[in-house]
Amino acid sequence: MAATTIGRSTLTDGSAGTVLNNALWQSSIYDKVDAVLAAAITFGSTVSAEGFGTHNFTAGGSGGNIFKLKNSSAGTTNFAQVQLDNDSGNIGAFLATSSTYTTVSEIVASALAIRSAGSGGLILSNTNASGTIKMYANNSLSQEAARVSVQSNMPTISVPGNVLGSRIILSDGSSSDSIAVMMSGEPGISVSNAIFGMNYYGVTTGGSARRNTSIGGSFMRFGAATWELDSINASGTISTRLSMDSSGNFTLGGTLTAGDIAFRNGFAFTEHDKVGIGEPGMALVSPAGDVVAFFDQRGGAHFRAIGGDLDDLGWRRTTAEERAAA
């Protein structure tokens, strides 16, 4: 701490005003008080300060100027805490728990917790116009885990990622399956031109979330060139099930189960029972809702043209809404 010298005064006896040995008093009392104030102070009990205002701990030098609070005893209920109170009581605290602390609510052992107890909640803010709030994890200080910022007046939560890609994993915290939202890519999965994706995940040995290679899953990605819905089998092989390119062309890798297949000119293909036909098949419906052709399960074709037998099937006029509800 900075050196401090208290003021000196001449000491006299109280009755005759005789000056005492002032140099002796100064070396015996004043100098020792100065030495105490100039050195590190150790208190053997609690300390209270009731002066109101700004309390400064100021010094300059090489290295860190550190304010340290430590509970040196391990224990299941032991922790160090900086508590903040307002006029109504405890409003929040910074807690550092013991290595043997027993979990209570969200507080676990060997953890630093920031806890708010106020009705206004917990507020993290950065008042600098270009400042962001950054988070790092797993001692990977060269790789951001997440960033909160404002871009073009829009609140933004970003996952910066790296050459391996980045992801947000949604999980119940158990060792069961999880869902991951990935940007750019994921180790072990080729995601050419993908800018966003979702993957069905499982947690592997060691608790590391990865694509599920034991029971398979699915992967959806929206990229600059294509939108794809892929499947992953138990060995980790990826197969494209549905894709659409930038021109609007669809590729289907399996069976399509759908209602009406409608065209831009108003015509639609629909199922037999939706237009009142008893025999299984597909009906071509006009924009007016009339069945103009029917293809039955035996390969027969029925038309409304002259001489056609379509009217013998007993079809009825319908709207697209009626067929969707059927």
Residue 307 lies in a domain: yes
Q: Which of 252, 283, 305 is the last residue of a domain?
A: 252
Question: HEC profile for the chain?
Answer: CCCCCCCCCCCECCCCCCECCHHHHHHHHHHHHHHHHHCCCCCCCCCCCCCCCCCCCCCCCCCCCCCCCCCCCCCCCCEEEEEEEECCEEEEEEEEECCCCCCECCECCCCEEEEECCCCCCCCCCCCCCCCEEECCCCCCCCCCEEEEEECCEEEEECCCCCCCEEEEECCCCCCCEEEEEECCECCECCCCEEEEEEEEEECCCCCEEECCCCCEEEEEEECCEEEEEEECCCCCEEEEEEEECCCCEEECCCCCCCCEECCCCCEEEEHHHHCCCCCEEEEECCCCCEEEEEECCCCEEECCCCCCHHHHCCCCCCHHHHHHC
247 and 230 in a single domain? The answer is: yes
The per-residue pLDDT for 129 is 86
- Domain count within the chain: 4
From residue 14, how far is each of 23, 90, 325 by CA, in Å?
18, 51, 109
Task: Give the range of the structural domain holding residue 233, as residue numbers without chain letter.
Answer: 169-252
State residue 77's pLDDT score.
96
What pLDDT does 112 receive?
A: 95
Confidence at residue 195, expressed as pLDDT on a 0 to 100 scale: 42
Q: Let me know if residue 64 belongs to a domain.
A: no
173 shares a domain with 248: yes
Q: Are residues 266 and 229 part of one domain? A: no
Specify whether 288 is located in the same domain as 310. yes
Residue 51 lies in a domain: no
CA distance 162 to 143: 8
How many Cα atoms within 13 Å fall on the side-chain side of residue 2?
8
pLDDT for 236: 61
Residue 139 lies in a domain: no
Do 232 and 270 fall within a single domain? no
Residue at 245 is within a domain: yes
Are 308 and 286 within one domain? Answer: yes
Task: Show which of 207, 222, 252 is a domain's final residue.
Answer: 252
For residue 161, tell me if it sits in a domain.
no
Task: Give pLDDT, residue 210.
Answer: 41
Are 248 and 316 in a shared domain? Answer: no
List of the chain residues with pLDDT < 50: 1-2, 163-164, 175-178, 184-196, 200-215
C-beta separation of 241 from 230 below 8 A: yes
**Residues 175 and 198 placed together within one structural domain of the fold:** yes
> Are residues 244 and 266 located together in one domain of the fold?
no
Residue 226: how many other CB atoms lie within 10 Å: 17
Task: Kindly report the pTM of this predicted structure.
Answer: 0.52
Q: Is residue 96 part of a domain?
A: yes
**Based on the domain organization, do 313 and 275 belong to the same domain?**
yes
| Inside any domain, residue 13 | yes
Rounded distance, CA 103 to CA 106, Å? Answer: 7
The pLDDT tens digits of the residues spanning 192-206 come to: 444 445 554 443 433
